[in-house]
Structure 1
Amino acid sequence: MSVWIGIDLGTQSVRAMAVDGTGQVLGAASRPLTSHRDGPRHEQDPEQWWRELAAATREALRDVPPGRIDGVAVDATSGTVLLTDRDGDPLTPGLMYDDRRATGEVERVNAVGAPVWERLGYLRMQPNWALPKLLWLLPDAPAGARAAHQSDFVNRRLTGHDVATDLSNALKTGVHLIDEDWPREVFDALGVPASMLPQVVRPGSRLGTVCAEAAEATGLPAGTPVIAGATDGCAAQLGAGALTTGSWNSVMGTTLVLKGVTRELIHDPLGVVYSHRAPDGSWLPGGASSTGAGVLARDLAGRDLDALSREAAARSWADPATIYPLVSRGERFPFDAPAAEGFTLGHVSDDVERYAAILRGAAYIERLCFDYLDLLGAPVDGEIILTGGATRSAYWNRLRADVLGRPVTLRENAEPALGMAVLAAGPEASASMIRTREVVQPDGTDLREHYLRFVDELEGRGWLPSPAAAHARERTTR
């Protein structure tokens, strides 16, 4: 049976996974990565990416027969960029996805590229996106320098030659996702030489094969096809199996991230939803909230969350409190409110009530995200797949099903590395490689009144636009 290798090149570590056609993991390993942070600066050493990727891959393949490996794909952090020379060696550190030193460049990027960004549905770029950072690097770039995303750098090492970038990683560098090419007039106006930009292909395209030098470093057999990957968020969506129109992957970790599938490009007047392009040409809209489980670590530090979950499940809730669990100041999705702050509705008397109130608020924001996506015209009637650390709590899974008023699916494994193995295997293999652990049904608890009270509060504070609030009320009371 064939085996595919998925590699997740993240912020804190790189993880490699060998997966067969039934979804069985035959080997996996990870290696840590080191970041250098200083205020708005966040850098990593590209050579460390390659060293640790090679080490993790060698370990993951230790018990896998070489003759069974049919492909490898790599995902990477969205918006991470560097400059390389003609041989693919780094000229700069990797400017990571949240490096914000390009604040001074973003205004010009948005002024010049406004018609394209509007057509692509996200309206404007942010300082941490890759194109402003590329402009920030440009004044010191030597002749012949080339732009590369994190995944481009390691894919070039894998193949031993220049490689195309994928549409997913290139989104925040300004690629025209409809034309599937760089908007040359924008880059000309910004002073970015055409020679600096790689060619562009869809995720899932073949980039080349593993060269002899990379084979020795990684343990991957020479000649193994190297497949264009995606961002880590899209990789997680692929690993979760949110692959059909109307299906959604809701990732509740430190913060909440939603990603789904639509046939048509979604345009968002608030600019909080933006879309990647899928390997088959459909669209992958999504957004990232500042709400999530990170508040549990902050506000209930040192507490046994599993015990709190069991105690919460054993209680009855006549008039439950709600906490708006913002991890940091400001909200990004389902509305844009830089001044938003956490708040509490109702009374919280102990840690069990605080825990449950945080979970309730996160579930309400998740519901509001779906209400807003429905307002934009996105299909939201398909399967909802929950992933992320929050799915360890059976109480939270049931609560989210109750708030959404529909079943939710849990997968056995939904890691980004699995998503890359699925991408490397191709669309015909995905159904057999993704395994369902459980489908959680709502138990009939009616939380609509409490949800609408939360919506009213967000609108009353001036954060949630009235059209979005009205649509949430209408959809909830149908």
Structure 2
Amino acid sequence: MSSTAPSPAPAPVVVGIDVATAAVRVVCVDAAGRVAAQARAALPAPVRGPGGTSEQDAGAWWPATAGALRRATGELPGGGREVVAVAVSATSGTLVPADSAGTPLGPALMYDDRRAADLNSLAQKAGSTRWKDLGLTVGPTAALGRLAWCVRAYGASAVRHVLHTPDLLGRHLTGGPVPTDWSHALKTGYDPRAGGWADEVFDALGVPAALLPEVAAPGTAAGSVCRAAAAETGLPEGCSVRLGMTDGCAGQLATGAVSPGQFVGVLGTTYVLKGVARELPLDPSGAVYSHRHPDGWWLPGGASSTGGEALAATDPADLPRLDAAAADRGPASCVAYPLRRDGERFPFVSGAARGFLLGSPADDADRHRADLEGVAFVERLALERLSALGVAVTGPLYAAGGGSRSDLWNRIRATVLDRPLRVARRAETAFGAALLAATGTLHADLTTAAATMTPDPGHEVLPVPAERAALDASYGRFREELAARGWL
């Protein structure tokens, strides 16, 4: 008689979920960091109205997430049974009021909603000592004020929970309440330094303490996938649900920058610098603020008001020609601060800041080169700001975002910084969430997970020695002009 050998069990994988503004993205990753399957599902566009309101149908989150999970797990060799853990990351500060069963009472209030600016101003005053010790400023769009707004708008008897996006999805995945992570909770009034909520602030705002959930570190086990969620998603019943982090933090983890001294410069629409420090840096200006690392270190960083949008007026089809011409030209003959909006928030804070151009460019390639250099000058100033706060940045700077696809821009940045850039192979939020799902499941800790699952650190870009002196001189003019205008 012949016998057929049983098929080998499929390799275990973890799932990372990114709930962004426009879509849900799901990625399934094995222990070596190989993507086994992925899927996405669209979300309804936020509805933005007068007074800075910004809302989205929170009822759309779970159907979109379940659908994307079903498609992704359906592509896996084992049909999803190989999934051992899942984690969710989302936009920072998005939340929704809910009843005792966790059902939304209305639309989600998005991360950029400004309706509670007056309550956030009150929260800043009520917790001024705490925020100073934490190095945090409660801005107009902080989730803290929106939480208080929900209590006032819906009534304390109706609002039994105020849920961040992963909290709501965690309820669907596990069939019950889950803790929130200290990353999503930061802008809602959680103090990761003291390890508790800002009680004096919530007392001042009239928010019942019972509304505030349990908080745990990202990567912590929050429950298991329930039978109903397994049927909807293709995830195996009983697989671990782990806590995630906000989208920016998860994107940083995805690059592999998870250990003290490692930083990543994300050049997207704006420029964002994030990294890891052993101690909490305190910036009196509020330009730099810190999330807490899953292992207890700190994640200082900031977001500039300029970045890739410096090129917004340029036809994308013309960028290769301009890059080539600017590369042939060498350092620009003029100095630009390509700020296309009013006010700067990092590496300095000034509502009066405006873009400027020192000198007259010889042609469009010269001006293009000046804009690229100007963003690199902002990046250098950002690193100098961190240094002044006692934060060490060691080794190459990781580079991510759309701007890092420009070889010319990378060479300019490396030369202005006088340090190599390491262009990250991955920086997706969903992949970072997968690393957190792998923490304590596929790997012992986050450091091991990152080292194993991001083995390719990306290619390195070195400074151009021949251009260093000219760019140093232009940076000097740039910094002097900022100081002369009273912004530094």
Conservation of the 8 A alpha-carbon contact between 1:255 and 1:291: yes
| Structure-2 separation of matches of 1:232 and 1:342 | 29
Aligned residue among 406, 417, 436 for 2:430: 417
SS at match of 2:37: strand
1:470 maps to none
Conservation of the 8 A alpha-carbon contact between 2:396 and 2:419: no
Q: Deviation string for 1:389-439 (max 9, x for gaps)?
A: 011111111111111101111122221111111111112222121122201
Aligned residue among 219, 222, 229 for 1:207: 222
1:36 maps to 47
Aligned residue among 468, 471, 474 for 1:450: 474
The structural deviation recorded for 1:302 is 5.1
The structural deviation recorded for 1:287 is 0.5
Aligned residue among 231, 251, 259 for 1:216: 231
1:469 maps to none
SS at match of 2:231: helix
Aligned residue among 378, 384, 396 for 1:365: 378
Conservation of the 8 A alpha-carbon contact between 2:333 and 2:362: no
SS at match of 2:127: helix
| Structure-1 separation of matches of 2:368 and 2:96 | 41
1:397 maps to 410
Aligned residue among 112, 115, 136 for 2:126: 112
| Structure-1 separation of matches of 2:232 and 2:66 | 6
Check if 1:78 corresponds to 2:92.
Answer: yes
Conservation of the 8 A alpha-carbon contact between 2:23 and 2:40: yes
Q: What is the TM-score of this pair, normalised by structure 2?
A: 0.92
Q: Deviation string for 1:18-71 (max 9, x for gaps)?
A: 111221111112222221112401111111111111122222222212232111
Aligned residue among 277, 282, 288 for 2:303: 288
SS at match of 1:168: coil
Q: Which amino acid aligns with 1:37?
A: R
The structural deviation recorded for 1:212 is 1.4
SS at match of 1:61: helix
SS at match of 1:279: coil
Aligned residue among 68, 72, 79 for 1:60: 72
The structural deviation recorded for 1:125 is 0.4
Aligned residue among 401, 413, 422 for 1:388: 401
Q: Deviation string for 1:169-222 (max 9, x for gaps)?
A: 000011011122212233223211011111100111110011111112222111
SS at match of 1:436: coil
- Residues 124-203 of structure 1: matches in 2 within 5 Å? 124-142=137-155, 143-145=157-159, 146-203=161-218
| Structure-2 separation of matches of 1:241 and 1:431 | 7
Q: Deviation string for 1:264-297 (max 9, x for gaps)?
A: 1110010111111111011001111001111212
| Structure-2 separation of matches of 1:24 and 1:48 | 29
Name the % identity.
46
Conservation of the 8 A alpha-carbon contact between 1:7 and 1:420: yes
| Structure-2 separation of matches of 1:398 and 1:421 | 31
Q: Which amino acid aligns with 1:44?
A: Q
1:305 maps to 319
Check if 1:331 corresponds to 2:313.
Answer: no
| Structure-1 separation of matches of 2:233 and 2:369 | 46
The structural deviation recorded for 1:224 is 1.3
1:102 maps to 116
The structural deviation recorded for 1:144 is 4.9
| Structure-1 separation of matches of 2:228 and 2:88 | 18
Check if 1:459 corresponds to 2:472.
Answer: no
The runs of 4+ residues in structure 1 deviating greater than 6 Å are none
Q: Which amino acid aligns with 2:302?
A: G
Conservation of the 8 A alpha-carbon contact between 1:245 and 1:382: no
The structural deviation recorded for 1:307 is 2.7
| Structure-1 separation of matches of 2:473 and 2:461 | 22
Conservation of the 8 A alpha-carbon contact between 1:292 and 1:327: no
Conservation of the 8 A alpha-carbon contact between 1:73 and 1:228: yes
Conservation of the 8 A alpha-carbon contact between 2:336 and 2:478: no
Aligned residue among 16, 25, 28 for 1:6: 16
Q: Which amino acid aligns with 2:394?
A: D
Conservation of the 8 A alpha-carbon contact between 1:264 and 1:282: yes
Are residues 424 and 56 of structure 1, via their aligned partners in 2, closer, same or farther at CA, if it must alter by over 3 Å? same
The structural deviation recorded for 1:117 is 0.7
1:468 maps to none
SS at match of 2:183: helix
1:476 maps to none
| Structure-1 separation of matches of 2:112 and 2:141 | 5
Conservation of the 8 A alpha-carbon contact between 1:247 and 1:381: yes
1:433 maps to 453
Conservation of the 8 A alpha-carbon contact between 1:322 and 1:346: yes
Conservation of the 8 A alpha-carbon contact between 1:387 and 1:414: yes
SS at match of 2:162: strand
| Structure-2 separation of matches of 1:31 and 1:399 | 37
Q: Which amino acid aligns with 1:58?
A: R
Q: Which amino acid aligns with 1:35?
A: P
Larger deviation, residues 305-314 vs 81-90: 305-314
| Structure-1 separation of matches of 2:101 and 2:277 | 39
Conservation of the 8 A alpha-carbon contact between 2:123 and 2:204: no
1:471 maps to none
What is the aligned length? Answer: 461
2:4 maps to none
The structural deviation recorded for 1:316 is 3.1
| Structure-1 separation of matches of 2:365 and 2:28 | 41
Conservation of the 8 A alpha-carbon contact between 2:170 and 2:241: yes
SS at match of 2:185: helix
2:5 maps to none
* Structure 1 alignment gaps of length 5 or more: 465-478
Are residues 213 and 131 of structure 1, via their aligned partners in 2, closer, same or farther at CA, if it must alter by over 3 Å? same
Q: What is the TM-score of this pair, normalised by structure 1?
A: 0.94
SS at match of 1:304: helix
